[in-house]
Amino acid sequence: MLLTERIKLAIIREVFEKGVFDAKKLMEINREDGIFTISGLRSIIVGTLSFAILHEAAEKLAGKAGPAILRAQGEESGRIEAEEGWRKNLEKFNLSFNLHTVLSTLPVIYAAVGWGKITTEGIDMETGEGTIIIKNCFEADAILGMSGEKETPQCYFVTGYLKGLLEGITGGKFRVTEKKCKAAGDEYCKFEVRRVQRKGSLVTP
């Protein structure tokens, strides 16, 4: 990694960690038309409980396919975010769009927008494999708040999102599995990330 790139990433991290970054500057409210955008992307602000409601509705209407629907929603969101959010913003700062750059700044950025406290130290910055930990994951807290503790991990949207984001950045295929979940009584949510070749077969080193 170039020295100038490393310095820029350190500045970005610092800006977010110290709370100097003002997310409001990226937001635009057009009251006349009732349109709200963040970094040019049409957005709405909804409470995290709507995720818990979506969980219940998906499982009620689609049964066992419910989690797969939520994962698919997350996966596509992650892929779009890689292109429309990460790629465009990193290019704006003249930074490389790759795993290393995204993983270096992802925890501070996602903490600033309320996703929870993400730790990426367990991830290999070159391959993207390893574990991602999220403390106070918004999806787990939403489920806990609405329906209490569950028997199995519940962060279907986030699981899909991480997969879509990693695939959008690298162009490769990933398998993301939630191994621990706050909504299932664990201290935090833990996601195992593996690369896959095709049709789900794991890449062997």
Binding site for Zn ion (CB under 5 A): 137, 140, 155, 181, 189
Q: Do residues 130 and 193 lie in contact, with contact meaning Cβ atoms separated by under 8 Å?
A: yes
- CA-nearest of 151, 155, 163 to 196 is 163
State the minimum distance, in angstroms, from the CB of residue 13 to Zn ion. 25
Nearer Cβ to Zn ion, position 5 or 186?
Answer: 186
Helix (H) or strand (E) holding 178: strand 173-180
Nearer Cβ to Zn ion, position 123 or 133?
Answer: 133
Nearer Cβ to Zn ion, position 95 or 162?
Answer: 162
State the minimum distance, in angstroms, from the CB of residue 187 to Zn ion. 11
Nearer Cβ to Zn ion, position 58 or 137?
Answer: 137
Q: Do residues 102 and 169 lie in contact, with contact meaning Cβ atoms separated by under 8 Å?
A: yes
State the minimum distance, in angstroms, from the CB of residue 182 to Zn ion. 5
Measured distance CA(94)–CA(142) in Å, rounded? 37
State the minimum distance, in angstroms, from the CB of residue 68 to Zn ion. 16
- The rounded Cα 118 to chain-centroid distance in angstroms is 9
